[in-house]
Amino acid sequence: MTIERRKLRWNGWGLVDAPDVLGDRAEGVWTWMSRALGVSPLPSTPAKELSDITLPPVLLDSHTLRKIESVLRAGRVTTDDYERAFHARGKSYLDLLHLRAGRLDTAPDAVVYPTSAEEVLALVRLAEAERIALIPFGGGSTVVGGVTAEPGKGHVAAVTVDTTLMNQVLEIDKESLIACVQSGIYGPQLEEALQAEGVTLGHYPQSFEFSTLGGWIAPRSAGQQSNKYGKAEHWVVATNLATPQGMWSTENFPGSAAGPQLTDLVVGSEGVLGIIADAVIRLHPAPEAKDYRGYVFMDFAAGVAATRDMMQAAVPTAMIRLSDAAETRSFRALYAGGAEPDAADQFCLMVVGLEGDRATVDTALERSRAVIERHGGMELGEGPGETWYRSRFATPYLRDPMMDRGLAVETLETATRWSNIINLHEVTSRAIADAMEANPGAPGARGIVMAHISHSYTDGASLYFMCTFVRDTAREVEQWLAIKRAASDAIVANGGTISHHHGVGTDHMPWIGSEKGPISTAILKAVKDQVDPTGILNPGKLIA
């Protein structure tokens, strides 16, 4: 039970036959976007059809292909055009620019579908002997270039390892609330299997429907309810990876002081230290009750203070999602089908999600309300909570029709301590706005930048930025790069991490060195050289 590749968009989000995400709001939304972004009418910029694209030649000879076939089950090696195109890149704005334009130079030479840890290990060994780069690929939903299929130095070809046939729940230990699961399982299949047993992982990133367990572990992913269920680094107990040195099984204990825990090195390793075959993960009882409701604050600072106080007072929330004023205005426009709020409006929407047993949810509701009220927040009831919950996986579907209309939407994220949140929000928003202004897609075009807090800790929170602008079709990669660079420079110069949950991939490579510093960088390189001396594992990502 995986998702057949041809049912998925190779150059866009989700299912080929998904209905229009805007439904009957479409006309109002496009009118609003056109007005808000300062371009009318919206241009028509359709994507190139795959049938009109010539893929690069396959660099593997038939002899080598047969060797690869020999370590896998029959029919699990393909050089089919659709498969190569589907696996050429991830789902970032930059990826879509390339894919939609038909630039498929990063298409892998072959795609393979192993079904077991043993097969992956045999593949890794063969690849090392044959100098073939291997790119691990789950749902391929990376937005930082984490699956771009490029061989490294000295490699003869690049083969993408699609893990989605490794999708079995191997063991559920209900007494210990842990499970051992193969890495290629998609979110819905995993939760279905777990919830049938009364348990949950509770990890619901926006990509949930089209991303996999291994894809969550590799870049330290965060689910929308991470306040309760934790990021990947919090719920991974142990991992089993195929490496050129053999199967690497990391520590498997609830807590250990037997030296540094190498599991911590795997979570965030983005496929460069091994291909995750399976993992032991921490579960929770499936929540008996859920409560999602909205609140509104007079300004962002008041909402930030309330979020911080809930975290520091250990109010057991599952999610606190605080939109800044710009995002709040956009949501109102979007969900009202284009009715435009006053641009000076500083109201900020917060959605608080509570999950757990009835008693915990009731207590958390009472306590969160008290904190919010103390900071001048006003309750809006369950309506905004339900709206958010219903559409929580839908937003990515909006990007494809926007790109069809000459528009761009980019997201990036960071995290910092509470005492720096307001500052980082301001300087990064400003840097993005300035870069959009300096790189207009059309005369009179205006960009929109908005942000929210969606993952909080006692000591700080994430900041997630989204910007929308008119594409400069003559130089759209350069336009994106200018904006991305401005935002990333601002983040790193102002005490933010280059990523809170998207990872490094290829896109954050220019900033990772300064964030880690020379000693940490050298250590990571030493680890890489020890495990993968010929650099066949996901070259070009994370470790230079």
Is beta strand 275-282 parallel, antiparallel or unpaired with respect to 319-323? unpaired
Question: Do residues 250 and 280 make contact, with C-beta atoms less than 8 angstroms apart?
Answer: no
Max alpha carbon distance in the chain (Å)? 71
Q: Minimal distance in Å, beta carbon 146 to its own copies?
A: 11
Rounded distance between C-alpha atoms, residue 274 and residue 10, angstroms? 26
Give the residue with the Cβ less far from its own copies, 205 or 338.
205
Q: Which is nearer to its own copies, 87 or 528 (CB)?
A: 528
Q: Which residues within the stretch 480-499 sit at the binding site for its own copies (CB under 8 A)?
A: 496-499
The piece of 91-99, 134-142, 243-251, 327-335 that touches its own copies (CB under 8 A) is 243-251
Question: Residue 149 in contact with residue 87, Cβ under 8 Å?
Answer: yes
Structure tokens at 416: 């910092």
**What string of DSSP letters covers 62-86?**
HHHHHHHHHTS-TT-EE--HHHHHH
> CB neighbours of 529 closer than 8 A, spacing ≥ 6?
none
415 CA to centre of own chain: 15
Residue 520 CB, nearest approach to its own copies (Å):
4
In the list 249, 346, 391, 395, the residue contacting its own copies (rule: CB under 8 A) is 249
N residues, the chain? 544
Residues 262-291 close enough to bind its own copies by CB under 8 A:
262, 264-270, 282-285
- Asked if 516 touches its own copies (CB under 8 A), the answer is yes
3-state secondary structure of 434: helix
# chain residues binding its own copies, by CB under 8 A: 92
Residue pair 172/194 in contact by the 8 Å Cβ criterion: yes
Pick the stretch among 157-165, 249-257, 344-352, 383-391 that binds its own copies (CB under 8 A): 249-257
* Stretch in the footprint of its own copies (CB under 8 A) among 41-49, 122-130, 478-486, 513-521: 513-521
The torsion angles phi and psi of 227, rounded to 5 degrees, stand at -60, -35
Residues numbered 434 to 473 that lie near its own copies (CB under 8 A) are 455, 457-462
Among 142, 160, 239, 243, binds its own copies (CB under 8 A): 243
| 237 binds its own copies, rule: CB under 8 A | yes
Stretch that binds its own copies, among 54-62, 63-71, 255-263, 480-488 (CB under 8 A): 255-263
| DSSP state, residue 8 | B
Nearest approach, Cβ of 220 to its own copies (angstroms)? Answer: 4
Q: Which of 529, 537, 71 lies closest to 275, judged by CA?
A: 537
- Looking at residues 329 to 388 of the shown chain, list those that interact with its own copies (rule: CB under 8 A): 356-357, 359-360, 363, 367
Q: Are 319 and 352 in contact (CB under 8 A)?
A: yes
Under the criterion CB under 8 A, does residue 231 sit at the interface with its own copies? yes
**Amino acid at residue number 466:** M
Q: Is 500 in the site for its own copies (CB under 8 A)?
A: yes
Q: Which of 74, 75, 258, 474 contacts its own copies by CB under 8 A? A: 258
**CB under 8 Å to 391, separation ≥6 — which residues?**
none
Task: Give the residue with the Cβ less far from its own copies, 84 or 528.
Answer: 528
94/402 with CB nearer its own copies: 94
313 binds its own copies (CB under 8 A): yes
Q: To the nearest whole angstrom, how small is the minimum distance from the Cβ of residue 459 to its own copies? A: 5
**Candidates 96-104, 121-129, 157-165, 313-321; binding stretch for its own copies (CB under 8 A):** 313-321
CB 487 within 8 A of CB 410: no
Rounded CA Rg of the chain: 23
| Residue 253 sits in the site that holds its own copies (CB under 8 A) | yes
Cα dihedral sign, 84-85-88-92: negative
> Nearest CA to 453 among 324, 314, 292?
324
Question: Could you say which residues in the range 161-220 bind its own copies, by CB under 8 A?
Answer: 173, 175-178, 219-220
Give the nearest distance from C-beta 208 to its own copies in angstroms. Answer: 17
Nearest C-alpha neighbor of 191 from the set 257, 283, 275, 107: 283
Using alpha carbons, list the distances in angstroms from residue 19 to 24, 140, 420: 11, 21, 41
Q: Which of 154, 246, 381, 383 binds its own copies (CB under 8 A)?
A: 246
Selected binder of its own copies within 419, 437, 475, 544 (CB under 8 A): 419
Taking CB under 8 A as the rule, does residue 531 contact its own copies? yes
**What's the min distance (Å) between Cβ of 258 and its own copies?**
5
Q: How many CA atoms lie within 13 A of 384 on its CB side?
A: 22
Binding test (CB under 8 A) with its own copies, winner from 501, 535, 538, 540: 501
Q: Is 533 in the site for its own copies (CB under 8 A)?
A: no
Residue 100 or 528 having the CB closest to its own copies: 528
